[in-house]
C-alpha cells in the first residue's frame, strides 16, 4: 500500500523499470561531479592555498575515469547504436 503511494508521489512507475535505477544513480552522480568541478574551479580562483583542494581534485579525476569507463562499456556493447 505504501509502496504505491511512494511510486505516485515520486513519479516512479512500478512497471517498465528495467535499468531505471542505473540511470537515476548515474544522473545523480554526474550532477555531483559537475557540482564538484564548478566548486573546484571557483575555489581554485578565490582560495589562497590550492593545496587544500587535492582531495577534491582526486575525487573529480576518479569520477571522470568511472564515467569514461561507463561510456566505453556502453559503446562496446552496441557500436552502431552509440554512433547514431
Instruction: Please state, in angstroms and rounded to a whole number, the distance separating the CA atoms of residues 64 and 57.
Output: 10
Give per-residue pLDDT as tens, 17-26: 566 787 888 8
Could you give the C-alpha distances from 3 to 14, 16, 17, 25, in angstroms and in order? 9, 16, 15, 20
In total, the chain counts a number of residues equal to 84
Q: Where are the domains of the chain?
A: 2-83
20 versus 56: the higher-pLDDT residue is 56
Q: Specify the pTM.
A: 0.64
pLDDT (0 to 100) of residue 53: 83
**37-53 pLDDT, tens digit each:** 999 888 888 887 777 88
Residue 37 corresponds to which cell in the numbers above? 568541478
At 73 the pLDDT is 85
Higher pLDDT, 79 or 24: 24
Amino acid at each position: 500500500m505504501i509502496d504505491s503511494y511512494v511510486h505516485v508521489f515520486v513519479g516512479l512507475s512500478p512497471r517498465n523499470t528495467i535499468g531505471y535505477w542505473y540511470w537515476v544513480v548515474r544522473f545523480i552522480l554526474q550532477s555531483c561531479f559537475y557540482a564538484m568541478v564548478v566548486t573546484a574551479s571557483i575555489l581554485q580562483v578565490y582560495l589562497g592555498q590550492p593545496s587544500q583542494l587535492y582531495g577534491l581534485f582526486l575525487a573529480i579525476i576518479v569520477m571522470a575515469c568511472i564515467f569514461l569507463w561507463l561510456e566505453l562499456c556502453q559503446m562496446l556493447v552496441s557500436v552502431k547504436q552509440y554512433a547514431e
